Amino acid sequence: MITWDGGSNTAARSAALERLDYFCPRAGLVYHKCRNYDYGQNGDAYVSGLSPYIRIGLLTEAECARAALSKHSEHQCRKFLEELFWRVYWKGYLENHRAIWDQYKRDLNLVLEDDSLTRDIATAESGRTGIDCFDSWAKELVETGYLHNHARMWFASIWIFALKLPWQTGAHFFLSHLLDGDVATNTLSWRWVAGLHTKGKAYLASRSNIAKYTENRFAPTQLASKAVPITEDPPLQTLSPRIQAAPIEIDRESKYGFLFTDDDASIPNFGDNRPQTALALFPETRYTRAGISQSVIDFRRSSMDDTVGRLENLGISTVLVFQNHANAIVDWISNHQLDTIACHQPYIGDWNDEWNEIEASIASSGSKLRLFRRWWEADLFPHAQKGFFPFKKRLPAVWERIQSPLVAGLSY
Ligand SMILES: Cc1cc2nc3c(=O)[nH]c(=O)nc-3n(C[C@H](O)[C@H](O)[C@H](O)COP(=O)(O)OP(=O)(O)OC[C@H]3O[C@@H](n4cnc5c(N)ncnc54)[C@H](O)[C@@H]3O)c2cc1C
């Protein structure tokens, strides 16, 4: 059984590290053999449950991989390492195909305006469809903020092919309730199930597969017998990515501040050149308006508080703001007379959509913005162009570097 905030774990880095430590002995062959089984909300779990922490940056993929490699050979824990880097693949893929995000938002708004769908969507979301496994997963998601990967695949497949609801509304339901809700992984995984990622290859949930991997807790009979292809407006325009190099060197003479958002609340390695101050942006009002569940908001908020506390412990005074971010940045720069701002480059998603305004406030204050990326993202994102298979070929070089000492500069 996995619990986070409200259970025995809280949204703090200490809790995230505890969970990583607890999971690591099973990150090898046990994970490889058992990870596809979903024993339900109150059953055993052979997966890590690390995703909410990784999503917010309380843990990074590299440190999870490093921890697994400290207990297992690369061969033994390869499956776990690859799953960790599926997330990096999805994030890189969306950076390279950013029009998918714009198209998703546009189509979601269109289908949400369609009154004829409202009742069926509400029935599905509240778990009243009569398909027992689906109804149980809908309730589990809302109650816990989590679903096993296999349950997510079955759920999405039933949503699209049995209930015939638009995939965008299912993706929106997931993003509103998943503690690990991530724009890239979620949108692209729904597209993968719908057969839009690998054209024509949809994922069809089957009774026998569900019965096998839930150990007969469920064996639904109301599933679709075939995946009717989903169509979308071609072509998706692909714009060139904007991927910054990592690490970056900050001039020692400069007065610099560290800016971060809940896109990535990790603390990079500042080396011996620490920022004077930090500013944390958390869009609580935007989330409430967008219908993000209160438990997701609370989880992210407490993660941000935790990062703020850890920065303060490093002697870096930090302020957390919830709205009017552009104005808050101008005040922060002026109060501390900062000439340089270092910030994780925002991923495609809501923060990136707001980024022009934020960049404009920094520029209007006369400060220089230095964006940076985690090194494995800078290395790997350019290779997330097509399928996971060619991307995967790049991973052994990453495992090697993960086990080497940290590089100099502001990095990870
Ligand atoms: C329709 C659908 C929607 C999804 N939406 C999200 C989402 O919004 N956010 C999210 O983090 N994951 C999402 N996933 C991927 C996956 O289901 C979760 O990452 C995983 O279930 C998290 O549980 P865990 O930490 O116990 O995973 P573990 O099996 O322990 O894996 C370890 C880590 O690897 C990464 N990972 C594992 N499986 C995947 C995967 N298939 N794709 C990408 N990364 C993976 C996660 O960071 C995870 O924490 C989605 C999958 C599907 C099919």
pLDDT digits (tens, 9 = 90+) for 185-203: 999 999 999 999 988 899 9
Longest dimension (CA), the chain: 68
H-state helical runs in 113-249: 115-125, 132-144, 149-157, 167-177, 183-194, 207-213
Task: Determine the pLDDT at residue 348.
Answer: 94
Whether ligand 1 lies within 6 angstroms of the CB of 26 is answered as: no
Whether ligand 1 lies within 6 angstroms of the CB of 54 is answered as: yes
Secondary structure (DSSP) of 352-369? HHHHHHHHHHHHHTTPEE
Task: Determine the pLDDT at residue 181.
Answer: 98
- Cα separation, 353 vs 263, whole angstroms: 12
In a domain, 229, yes or no: no
Contact 163, 120 (CB under 8 A): yes
Residue 183: CA atoms inside 13 Å, Cβ hemisphere, count?
A: 25
pLDDT at 235 over 60: no
pLDDT at 158 over 70: yes
In a domain, 382, yes or no: yes
Task: Determine the pLDDT at residue 229.
Answer: 78
In a domain, 331, yes or no: yes
In a domain, 244, yes or no: no
Q: Among the atoms of ligand 1, which is closest to the Cα of residue 54? A: 47
Whether ligand 1 lies within 6 angstroms of the CB of 24 is answered as: no
Task: Determine the pLDDT at residue 240.
Answer: 60
Domain with 291, as residue range(s), is 256-372
Mean pLDDT across the chain, nearest whole number?
92
User: Same domain, yes or no, for 330 and 351?
Assistant: yes
Would you place residue 7 in the very low, low, confident or very high pLDDT band (cuts 50, 70, 90)? Answer: low
In a domain, 66, yes or no: yes
Residue 245 Cα distances to 10, 58, 266, 340, 343, angstroms: 33, 22, 18, 17, 13
Task: Determine the pLDDT at residue 242.
Answer: 66
Q: Among the atoms of ligand 1, which is closest to the Cα of residue 186? A: 5
Residue 246: which of 342, 378, 370 has the closest Cα?
378
Secondary structure (DSSP) of 226-277? S-PPP---SPPP-PPP----SSBPPPTTS-EEEEEETT--PPPB-TT---SE
Pocket residue to mutate for ligand 1, from 146, 189, 263, most atoms within 8 A of Cβ: 189
The long-range contacts involving 25-30, CB below 8 angstroms and separated by at least 24 positions, are 25/71, 27/67, 27/68, 27/71, 27/72, 27/77, 27/80, 28/68, 28/71, 28/72, 28/73, 28/76, 28/77, 28/80, 29/76
Whether ligand 1 lies within 6 angstroms of the CB of 60 is answered as: no
Whether ligand 1 lies within 6 angstroms of the CB of 84 is answered as: yes
In this structure, what DSSP letter does residue 26 have? G
Task: Determine the pLDDT at residue 170.
Answer: 98
Torsions phi, psi for 92 (to 5 deg): -65, -40
User: Same domain, yes or no, for 382 and 346?
Assistant: no
Q: How far is the CA of 35 from the centre of ligand 1 (A)?
A: 12
pLDDT at 359 over 90: yes
- Cα separation, 82 vs 379, whole angstroms: 16
Task: Determine the pLDDT at residue 5.
Answer: 59
Contact 159, 189 (CB under 8 A): no
Q: Tell me the average pLDDT across 367-393.
A: 93
Going by CA atoms, what residue is nearest to atom 19 of ligand 1?
51
Contact 134, 157 (CB under 8 A): no
Task: Determine the pLDDT at residue 200.
Answer: 81
User: Same domain, yes or no, for 300 and 260?
Assistant: yes
In this structure, what DSSP letter does residue 410 have? B
pLDDT at 16 over 80: yes
User: Same domain, yes or no, for 90 and 171?
Assistant: no
In a domain, 157, yes or no: yes
Number of domains in the chain: 3
Distance of CA 171 to the CA centre of its chain: 13
Q: Tell me the average pLDDT across 134-160.
A: 97
